[in-house]
Amino acid sequence: MALDLFSAVNLGSISLKNRMVMAPLTRNRAAEGGVPQPMNVTYYEQRASAGLIITEATPISVMAHGYPALPGIYTDAQVAGWKKVTDAVHAKGGKIVIQLWHVGRISHPTLLPNGALPVAPSAVKPAGQAFTYQGLVDYVEPRALDANELPAIVADYVHAAQSALAAGFDGVEIHAANGYLIDQFLRDGSNKRTDNYGGSFENRARFLMEVTKAVVDVAGADKVGIRISPVNPFNDMHDSNPQALFNYVTSALNQFNLAYLHTIEGDMSGQDNSFDFVAMRQLFKGSYMANLGYDKARGNAAIASGHADVIAYGVPFIANPDLVERYRTNAPLNEADSSTFYGGTEKGYTDYPFLSA
């Protein structure tokens, strides 16, 4: 039988009823203290027909924050809030993993404890502006991390992974994409270090490998995924040789027998088409999740050809809580209202109609 979006599949120890994944989508609607609230429970529960939900990116510590109203995964109250989400998704027969996030330099002192400077591999100020409670403000030059500070950040990832399992998640995804801390170490546009964490591919990938090993040790490799974005320029990112770098990273990740590798296949601004994602994917021995610009037809084709095992969908899941059923029956899709993507109320969050309505 030919495989398609509606076939069951296992990602590590996580069994999926279909191959449609809800991508991680920042929505800035957590309650005080970074605690998930009732409307967050409703939002995820509505989308439990996805084969797998990946939560919005979730800071692993107070220093990991870079935007307002984000949920965290490092306090007891946050764990309790997320437990209501995972219980609701599981009650509907869904599976859910949490995306573990440290933003690095993509933050601002007003978002950090005691007005601290954001941290990064190197003191390279990103172009652009931070989204703060006071509105948009220019990024500041971050503070370069000392190598002896990195074990404490690895420990924050471990604590967050343990907290996620306590909250009932089926697994965790390490966010190593889109210009945040781990990606800042990987790409040489942001990593100017001359120690064991800079220069060669091996050195720039060292922090990712240390985080991955530590998280795998506490969660189990069969419950851990990684997200990468080899050519996405978001957050002022670039690299001098992305193909060679990410071919190296992908091959190096094979040592962990991860649940999956989640790749943003291209440049979200649509400029760079030079990267060979097929070649990179062929280096990875585990399950592969493809993301960026997929619709039903492209998703089915990628699965049928063996390029991808699962397909991640973002905006379509925002506007269509029942996207799986709509694709299955070739029903029309709701249009997404981009003005309500970030922050706000239930409007544009939990009020999109289901087909059955």
**Residue 222 covered by a domain:** yes
**The length of the chain, given as a count of residues:** 357
**Residue 102 covered by a domain:** yes
Q: What is the CATH number of the domain that holds 308?
A: 3.20.20.70
Q: Please provide the DSSP assignment of 314-338 as one string.
A: SHHHHH-TTHHHHHHHTPPPPPP-G
- Can you give the pTM of this predicted structure? 0.98
**Confidence band of 267 (pLDDT split at 50, 70, 90):** confident
Q: Which residue range forms the structural domain that includes residue 294?
A: 9-340
**Residue 59 covered by a domain:** yes
**Residue 4 covered by a domain:** no
The helix/strand/coil state of 312 is strand
Q: Is the pLDDT of residue 1 over 80?
A: no
**Residue 74 covered by a domain:** yes
Distance between CA atoms of residues 327 and 5, nearest Å: 9
Tokens of 68: 């307002």
**Confidence band of 271 (pLDDT split at 50, 70, 90):** low
Q: Is the pLDDT of residue 269 over 70?
A: no
Which of 67, 180, 327, 349 is labelled catalytic? 180
Is 139 catalytic? The answer is no
Minimal CA–CA distance to 69: which of 342, 349, 337?
342
Domain tally, the chain: 1
**Residue 63 covered by a domain:** yes
The confidence score (pLDDT) of residue 339 equals: 97
